[in-house]
Amino acid sequence: MANIPTQRAEALTAWDSPVSVVRFVDDARTVALERLGIRTVEDLLRHYPFRFLDLTSTPTLAEVQVGSDATVVGRVHEVRVKKPRSRLTITEVGIVDGTGVLLGVWFNQPYAARRFAPGDRVAFAGRVQLEFGLKQIRTPFAEKLGEEDDPTLTARVLPVHRATEGISTNWMRRLVAEALGQYSDVPDFLPARLRIERDLWPLTSALRCIHFPEESADAGHARRRLAYDELFVLQVGLAIRRHGLVDERKGVPHVLDGPALTALRDDPPFSLTGDQTRAVSEILADMASQRPMNRMLLGDVGTGKTIVAAHALAAAADTLAQAAMMAPTEVLAEQYALRLGPLLDTLGIPWTLLTGSTSSAQRSETLRRVAEGSVAVLFGTHALLEETVQFAALSLAVVDEQHRFGVVQRLGLRGKGEAVDMLVMTATPIPRTLALTLYGDLDVSYLRERPSGRSAESNVTTTVMGPQLRPSAYERVRLAVRAGRQAYVICALVEESTAAEAKAAVREAERLRADVFDDLRVGLLTGKMKPADKTATMHAFRAGAIDVLVATTVVEVGVDVPNATVMVVEDAERFGLAQLHQLRGRIGRGEHPGEFILFANPSTDEGRARMDAIATTADGFELAERDLVLRGEGQVLGERQHGLPELRLASLIRDADLLDQARADAVALVSTDPHLRTAEHLPLARELRRRFNRQWEWVSSG
Ligand code: ADP
Ligand code: MG
């Protein structure tokens, strides 16, 4: 008995061995497996079948249905080998059972004929087809049976694994079976208590059963255990990271009764919505505490995140510390300066702006003032992350539209001070399950309500039209301009590059200027323009000196021009739902109703479904849920997951309950043993490190 645990532990380390240690995996198969991303033993064990052939039904030859999967038992009455063409051999083995006849058919497998002789009792399994009025199974799974035997190799549920050139489905099944035989008996890393509480199968049985279930229902149990693992391990990692970030560090306890914050609260530029008020108090409570803040402010476009952030900036200034506020584009960073700057001025808070196009003289002046602490608030772009930017006492970092930044950049800003309070803001409504998966290390404040009088969505009508209706859309633009409003024309998203996209926009602007709106002032904004030109164009648009702004998706982020009420989007089916929703958020921001006009000619069901969703759904969260379902989570997650442990089985759409369980279990576990040091949790700690791999530092660094 004593040596069994050792053997099992060895099996576990062997999971990281190259897949070539598995029997039958020779050099050629190693190369073929690599094409499927299978490099280690574990990769092969986790190469889960994508479907199952249920061959458990054993009807008589008379009963068996054409088109069904089944196992039939009969006696061979005839074996025939035909050669209809020079390179084609067909082997037909006819069987009878007293109720009917069926053929087993093999192509170019002459040895099949040698396996069977008239009088043999056999089982054939597979999909039943009809050919020349005769039932047949092509390339059946077959076994010879003794007189009294029941089928053992057939008449079961057979997994179908993704195969590749050089390794057939049958071989793949065999290789997986080999790997399971040699390596699946490993210690279970999940604490027994949880396994029992959640009624989860042991790891070894789950692994075996997900590949080779006795019956279909078993695969479901196995899947649930393994999907739980994926979610649980990720959530434990996030919980540990969160713990390290907020529970173990001493941050700056900000003062909440200083002059700037008091003035802002006593005399706000407008009265806050209920959601804004709640978000402000959640944020300020975090900031007053010694636990560093790690919070996301999640609110649709136009819900008023900026004023909420202003409260945090004021608290930092009152504490005689510093705040940095980072935006993903220069247009947006300049907009802060433009809109928040004057507010900060009235509160007596010294601030400045730093972007890539700040002149070098101004830049060194700014760097000096930031380093000596005479600037309390620094707005900017990625430029803030540069090493030369050093703060005297950074205590708050605000990252806007944070989905545009990678994890590393989020951390970069935090690293510019000691235990900095982090506030990340995003206008991309994220389905709850996705938020928990991607940002489970953050607390979240939601803004769902819109400031009164500007209920943007109900205020914007969305129309999807075929491109042939262009003239009528342009008429809408002209009417709006005549009424004193402004419009956007958004050019098609071009896959290849921003350069190509910019070119398309330039052409479109020329066309509109020449042929359509020759009497209007048409401007152009692309990602390729020089920063100074971009700024000038935005100023002109904001000042009303441009009627129609032709733009690429650079306007998606944060641009606020309340007088713009019409937006026309070309080739709308090329945009994701979230992106369209963001674009829509740019209009109807003022008192005037907005019109969102989409030219679309969707050629796929998915495209049509997306157009239908954007036209009928105003709520960003609901759209995000629909987007997740339509595009599939693989795509949504893949874009943003940054090497976090993979979710192969767990679905953010179907496994919401399992995710909640896994998260609750993870949080509870980490709160009692934040470093997974108790004996009971050591196997889990090991598993976590294996799965997070290179991202482990991210988990443990905070
Ligand atoms: P977001 O960044 O969330 O998209 P903004 O902070 O840019 O939204 O706010 C959108 C607009 O709504 C701005 O013009 C802002 O001044 C205005 N606004 C925000 N909150 C309120 C409020 N409570 N009452 C009236 N107007 C508001
Ligand atoms: Mg904003």
Residue 380 tokens, joined: 């900017």
pLDDT category at 2 given cuts 50, 70, 90 is: very low
In this structure, the residue with its CA closest to atom 19 of ligand 1 is 304
Residue 154 has pLDDT above 60, yes or no: yes
* Residues 306-341 pLDDT 10s: 999 999 999 999 999 999 999 988 888 988 899 899
Question: Ligand 1: which atom is nearest the Cα of residue 400?
Answer: 2
In the predicted model, what is the mean pLDDT of residues 569-586?
A: 86
* Residues 432-467 pLDDT 10s: 787 787 777 788 898 888 886 554 446 789 999 988
In this structure, the residue with its CA closest to atom 25 of ligand 1 is 451
Question: Ligand 1: which atom is nearest the Cα of residue 299?
Answer: 3
In the predicted model, what is the mean pLDDT of residues 29-44?
A: 94
Query: Helix, strand or coil for residue 400?
Result: coil
Residue 37 backbone class (left: φ over 0; alpha: ψ -120 to 50; beta: rest): left
Q: Supply the pLDDT for residue 501.
A: 77
Question: Ligand 1: which atom is nearest the Cα of residue 301?
Answer: 4
Residue 460: partners with Cβ closer than 8 Å, 6 or more residues away: 584, 587, 588, 593, 594, 595, 596, 618
Query: Helix, strand or coil for residue 207?
Result: helix
* Ligand nearest to the CA of residue 401, numbered in listed order: 2
* Ligand nearest to the CA of residue 302, numbered in listed order: 1
374-378, 552-556, 625-629: least confident range = 552-556
Q: What's the CA-to-centroid distance between 139 and ligand 1, angstroms?
A: 67
Question: Ligand 1: which atom is nearest the Cα of residue 300?
Answer: 3
Q: Supply the pLDDT for residue 12.
A: 63
The sheet carrying 322-326 orders its strands as 351-354, 377-380, 322-326, 394-399, 421-426, 294-299, 443-447
* Ligand nearest to the CA of residue 304, numbered in listed order: 1
On whether the CB atoms of residues 377 and 351 are closer than 8 A, the answer is yes
Higher-confidence position of 492 and 387 = 387
Q: What's the CA-to-centroid distance between 365 and ligand 2, angstroms?
A: 28
- Count Cα neighbours of 232 within 13 Å in the Cβ-side half-sphere: 23
Q: What's the CA-to-centroid distance between 304 and ligand 1, angstroms?
A: 4
Q: What's the CA-to-centroid distance between 308 and ligand 1, angstroms?
A: 9
User: What angle (nearest 5°) sits at the alpha carbon of residue 543, between those of residues 309 and 564?
Assistant: 75
Q: What's the CA-to-centroid distance between 302 and ligand 2, angstroms?
A: 7
